[in-house]
Amino acid sequence: MSAIADNLQAVQARISEAAALAGRSPESVRLLAVSKTWPLACVVEATEAGQRAFGENYVQEGIDKLTAIAGRNLEWHFIGPLQSNKSRPVAEHFDWVHTIDRLKIAERLSEQRPTYLPPLQACIQVNISGEASKSGCSPDEALTLCRAVAALPGLRLRGLMAIPEPTDDPAAQRAQFHRVREIYNHIRAAGLPLDTLSMGMSHDLEAAIAEGATIVRIGTAIFGERSYK
């Protein structure tokens, strides 16, 4: 088996174990393979091991890969910061977007989504750490933004995404994911049919699954340490 296939199997085992500990079925957690910075060959290797969903942070890099291996029934998720001037290629090429943090960008994506494609599956990014540098709407704005996004024809609102402050303390990880879960429950209680919690990365997927994550976004544990130029 290739290293990537081995790693995928190991990550699936972590997911299954975390789900079992939480009394959840392993199928209730989807694995998104975050392939940013990795060449197409790594994505291909992962697909040969059965991986179907991939996450990319940079618009052009993602589009280069997804067009190079079009027609293989893969699912592409945009998980990077959204800039207004790059919304069109995201709307035209990706299946999901996890990082909507303001209405303006949601409206652009909806308008730019080609009508021959199904609506763009959308998550609202919530900033739970409160750090000024991090993107995401504030927890207080999340319900209002969800309501507005749910009404846009080119988008289909699915849920919330969060990137907590990095910490190695499992209790602190869980506390942050718990806050996201509470916001999610609050929005569902208000009548919006959310079914997706996109949270958990290589170092904290167990805590995220314990708190209800339905999509974990995993890069390093599958492809290795990234090196940025």
Structure tokens given for 99: 């990082």
How far apart are CB 114 and ligand PLP at their closest, in Å?
Answer: 25
69, 43 Cβ separation under 8 angstroms: yes
Give the span between the Cα atoms of 110 and 220, in whole angstroms: 32
Q: Is the C-alpha dihedral spanning 139, 141, 145, 147 positive or negative? A: positive
Structure tokens given for 194: 């959310």
156, 119 Cβ separation under 8 angstroms: yes
- Choose which of 36, 77, 113, 158 interacts with ligand PLP (CB under 6 A): 36
Q: Work out whether 65 is an interface residue with ligand PLP (CB under 6 A).
A: no
Q: How many helices (DSSP H) and strands (DSSP E) are in the chain?
A: 9, 8
Our CB check for ligand PLP shows the closer of 5 and 147 to be 5
In sequence order, which residues have a C-beta less than 8 Å from that of residue 28 and are 6 or more positions away? 19, 214
How far apart are CB 54 and ligand PLP at their closest, in Å?
Answer: 11
How far apart are CB 221 and ligand PLP at their closest, in Å?
Answer: 6
162, 129 Cβ separation under 8 angstroms: no
- Choose which of 18, 19, 34, 100 interacts with ligand PLP (CB under 6 A): 34
Nearest-CB residue to ligand PLP?
A: 219
Q: Work out whether 57 is an interface residue with ligand PLP (CB under 6 A).
A: yes
Our CB check for ligand PLP shows the closer of 26 and 81 to be 81
- Please give the residues from 160 up to 219 whose contact with ligand PLP meets the rule CB under 6 A: 163, 201-202, 217-219
How far apart are CB 55 and ligand PLP at their closest, in Å?
Answer: 6
Q: What amino acid is encoded at 28 in this protein? A: S
Which residues of the shown chain bind ligand PLP in the complex (CB under 6 A)? 34, 36, 57, 79, 163, 201-202, 217-221
